[in-house]
Amino acid sequence: MGMDIEEEQESGAPQDLEWPELEKAERLARGAALKWASGIFYSPKQLTRLDQYRSREAQRMCSIESRIKSTVQSYLESVQTGLEQLGLALKEVQEAREALAEAQRALRSQAEAAHTLEPLQELANQHGQLKAVTLLLPQLLAVPEAVARTQALIKDNRFLEAYDVLRELEHLRDEVLDPFGGPELSLFEGLTPLGEELGLAMGKVVGSARQLARDDPALLVAAVRVAEFEEKRDAQLQSLSPGRPRAWRQHCLGALRRALEEAYFEAPAPAPPGLAGHLAALREALPAELALAEALVAPCCPGDYRVVKLWAHTLHHGLRQHLQRLLDHEDLGTQDIFTLLHWALHTYPGPEMMGHPDLSPEADISELEPLLSPEAVEQLERTYTEKLKIKVAGWLQNALDGEVAEWFQEQEPDIDPEGFYHSSLPAVVLQILDENIRVTAVISSSLQERIHVMALRELGTFLRSLMEALDRFSQEHLKDASRPCHYVPYLLACLNHYAALSSSVSLLQPAGVPTTTSVSAAIDAALGDFKKKICRLILDALLEELQPLFVALPSRQWLSSLVMLDNVCEKTASFCSRFSRVRSTMAQMLLAETERAVVLEYLRSLMQGKLVCRNSTERIQASERMLQDSAQLRELFLSLELEESAQTGAVLGALQELFRLQDPALLSLEVSSFLHKFPDVSEEHIGVLLDVRGDVSREQRQVVLETMQANPPPSPPPDGHRPLFSLVPVPSPPLAFCFPAGSCS
């Protein structure tokens, strides 16, 4: 059986090359047969039945082959039938091809016959044209007369009649367009210029609509009706007819716009001096123009012209360009810029003009862009601020020059009803700044904020100029103490100026405008420097009088005299009596500074080390002298109404303890207590005081200084005391003595 399979494989090899599917089916069949045979003949006993199996399978194969032969026979019969039908179809196609070729030959012969009839066709066409000429000849002969009559009607502004004649002529031209090629006939060459002439005449009339609406509205209506008729014909004919589209409606609308622009904005912008009058005239004219459009022009035009909106938008855009030209070519001053901004931002959109309650809603002003662009407003506000800054600086300088001139007069400063030194300078300065800040509120908060910042900066500049003037004032006084005559009173008047300015700066802040922290801080600093400058000059004037009186302090005359400080107190009281002309808050501050300056001058004199106590008696005298001086100064300033808590003379009472102490060994403890009260005292200050005592040994001095080093002062100073000793200089120690030929060691 295996040999049979191999033979079948060998015999089927050529078919495998032609039918791959057959090869696959055969392999599957052989595999199935092998599987079946292996299952049947798995033992030798089964081989005895081999003949039976072979006979049965042979019968089965014969049955299968007969069925296959039957199927193949049926298939072959079907193929034969198909071939017969294909042969019949081929025969019919050949017959159809022969019939088509015959028809083509017949058509070619007919076309050649038709070509010989072309001259006859041309004659027929000419006959038709001649017939049309015969029918239209009377109308064609009347064309030149109709053209002349139309021109006359146009000159007489009889637009409807002129338009009717023009339409008849154009209709006639269109009728002969096909048979004669209308545009090529010279007879109709004048129609296109005639239409253009009518369009120009209508545009001129419509451009005069503002006047015609009053004088001859019928003429305006006629022109608009003709434009509407042509608008419809443009839509119907489009570009099929010569000169289309004419767009007379757009031409009329353009004429309306140009007439408005020429009436109001064609003329050059007025020079700045006439700007206010020009804007005032526009404020009256533009609302009247809109009322005219609504009452007279709109009824003469179709509703879809939207005449009121056309008027409003044309006037707005023309005015916008007009103002832009003004900004581009004119150098406007501050008043002109202010007027222009107020007019553009408030008057124009306000109830006097475009926001008028009687303005027709048809104006549709909600679609209009701002009259001045944000960039233009920004530029105008910046320019206004810069130019106003120059003016404000000039006004403030003039006020300062007038004030400085008064300082050198022979009379005291003016006194107000309350008894204080007074001048108009603070009021003038604040009025200049305040008026320019407040007036800009009618423009915009942004401009007001700009002007507020500018005003504060100019105030700072003014304060610096005022301090420079005070420096020159004091230099003149240093050159000649008798000049100026009223040096201190004018300084006190300036202190009142400070009080007035510092209390009024906050009033310059506009409501609703945010505070500029950096600028406010700069003004506060400038005011603080101004106050310090005045106080310093006043105290310098006092010390100039007191310094000769402190020359003998300390001295043995000072130890023994009971009235040594009387002259100082007398001079100080006389000097401070003028503080009554200063407002109370400033007077108290000035008294406190005066008392502190006197005490500092006392300490400076004491630290000169001009006196050395020779014994305990002199030390007790020095202690009592300082205690009495402290009490005398305290009583003096109490009489001048300076509270004791604001005085610094208690330092003299603390100093006298260092001299009253009998045992130098206890100085360390006393110095530690003094250091706690006055932490800014230095080792040099203590060293000078120990020298003045005159009984402190080198070892005791070293112990005191080491105690100071071991107990650093607390920080910050207790009770908020201002530094004293740090402002008191200590004389430099004398240089070591050197022999001429040796070297210092």
Q: Report if residue 603 sits inside a domain.
A: yes
203-222 mean pLDDT: 82
Instruction: Tell whether 249 and 155 lie within a shared domain.
Output: yes
Asked if residue 205 lies in contact with residue 163, where contact means CB atoms within 8 angstroms, the answer is no
469 pLDDT more than 70: yes
Both 590 and 697 in a single domain? yes
CATH value at residue 595: 1.10.357.70
- 177: in domain: yes
Quickly tell me which residue has 């298939």 as its tokens.
Answer: 75
- Name the E strands within 360-434: 414-415, 421-422
Note whether residue 476 is domain-resident: yes
Q: Is 414 helix (H, G, I), strand (E, B) or coil?
A: strand
pLDDT band of residue 717 (cuts 50, 70, 90) is low
713 in the same domain as 670: yes
Q: Say yes or no: 219 and 257 in one domain.
A: yes
Q: For the CA atoms of the chain, what is the radius of gyration?
A: 61
Which value, to the nearest 10 degrees, does the dihedral of the CA atoms of residues 45, 47, 49, 52 take? 170
Q: Do both 381 and 508 map to the same domain?
A: yes
Report the pLDDT averaged over residues 560-576.
87
Between 143 and 196, residue with greater pLDDT: 196
Please choose, from the candidates 309, 321, 307, 310, the residue with its C-alpha nearest in 3D space to the C-alpha of residue 371: 321
Strand partners, 422: 414
| CB atoms near residue 655 (< 10 Å) | 24
Q: Quick check: is 104 in a domain? A: no
Q: Is 712 part of a structural domain of the chain?
A: yes
Same domain, 147 and 76: no
Q: Which two tokens stand for residue 152?
A: 């006359």
Written as six digits, the tokens of 539 are 């105290």
635/566 Cα distance (integer angstroms) = 12
What is the domain extent for residue 508?
376-527
Q: Which helix (H) or strand (E) holds 401?
A: helix 374-407
Query: Does 77 share its domain with 176?
Result: no
**Which of 103-112, 312-321, 613-622, 663-672 has the lowest average pLDDT?**
103-112
The stretch 351-362 carries a mean pLDDT of 80
> Are the C-beta atoms of 254 and 202 separated by less than 8 Å?
no
Say whether pLDDT at 721 is over 80: no
For residue 52, pLDDT beyond 60 = yes
Q: How many CA atoms lie within 13 A of 581 on its CB side?
A: 21
Question: Residues 124-148: pLDDT tens digits?
Answer: 766 766 666 666 666 666 677 777 7
CB 354 within 8 A of CB 343: no
Supply the pLDDT for residue 133.
Answer: 63
Check: CB of residue 300 under 8 Å from CB of residue 216: no
Q: Could you tell me if 496 and 611 lie in one domain?
A: no
Question: 551: pLDDT confidence band, cut at 50, 70 and 90?
Answer: confident
Q: How confident is the model at residue 355 (pLDDT cuts 50, 70, 90)?
A: confident
pLDDT of the residue at 10: 45
Q: What is the pLDDT of residue 385?
A: 95
Highest mean pLDDT among 44-48, 61-65, 293-297, 403-407: 403-407
Peptide bond between residue 554 and the one before it cis (omega within 30 degrees of 0): yes
Question: In this predicted structure, which of 45-49, 407-411, 689-693 has the lowest mean pLDDT?
Answer: 45-49
Counting DSSP H helices and E strands in the chain, the numbers are 28, 2
Work out the percent of the chain whose per-residue pLDDT is above 70. Answer: 86
Q: CA 618 to CA 558: how far, in whole Å?
A: 11
Query: Cis ω on the peptide bond leading into residue 273 (within 30° of 0)?
Result: no
Mean pLDDT of the chain: 83
Q: Is the pLDDT of residue 375 over 90?
A: yes
0.95 surpassed by pTM: no
502 and 556 both lie in a single domain? no
The domain boundary residue, chosen from 68, 98, 128: 98
Nearby residues of 394 by Cβ (< 8 Å), 6 or more positions away: none
pLDDT at 386: 95
Note the pLDDT of residue 417. Answer: 92
Band of pLDDT at residue 271, cut at 50, 70 and 90: low
pLDDT for 18: 56
Residue 4 has pLDDT above 70, yes or no: no
Q: In the predicted model, is pLDDT for residue 737 greater than 70?
A: no
pLDDT band for position 234 (cuts 50, 70, 90): low
Residue that terminates a domain, selected from 237, 264, 291: 264
- Enumerate long-range contacts of 135-139, CB under 8 Å, 24 or more apart: 136/172, 136/175, 136/176, 139/172
- The total of structural domains in the chain comes to 4
Mean pLDDT of 376-389: 94
Domain boundary pick from 98, 125, 152: 98
Look up residue 199 and give its two tokens. 């369009």
**Per-residue pLDDT band at 269 (split at 50, 70, 90):** low
Residue 585, classed as helix, strand or coil, is helix
Assign 391 a pLDDT band (cuts: 50, 70, 90). Answer: very high
- CATH code, domain carrying 482: 1.10.357.50
Residues 51 and 170 in one domain: no
Residue 571 falls within a domain, yes or no?
yes
Supply the pLDDT for residue 573.
94
Question: In the numeric block, which tokens belong to residue 550?
Answer: 């402190």
Mean pLDDT of 637-666: 90
> Which residues have CB under 8 Å from 688's CB, separation 6+?
607, 609, 730, 731
Task: Tell which wins on pLDDT, 179 or 582.
Answer: 582
In a domain, residue 352? The reply is no
pLDDT at 427 over 90: yes
414-415 and 421-422: which strand pairing?
antiparallel
Q: Do 158 and 246 have their domain in common?
A: yes
Same domain, 184 and 231: yes
In a domain, 544, yes or no: no
Q: How far apart are CA 51 and CA 39, in angstroms?
A: 16
On the question of pLDDT at 740 being above 60, the answer is no
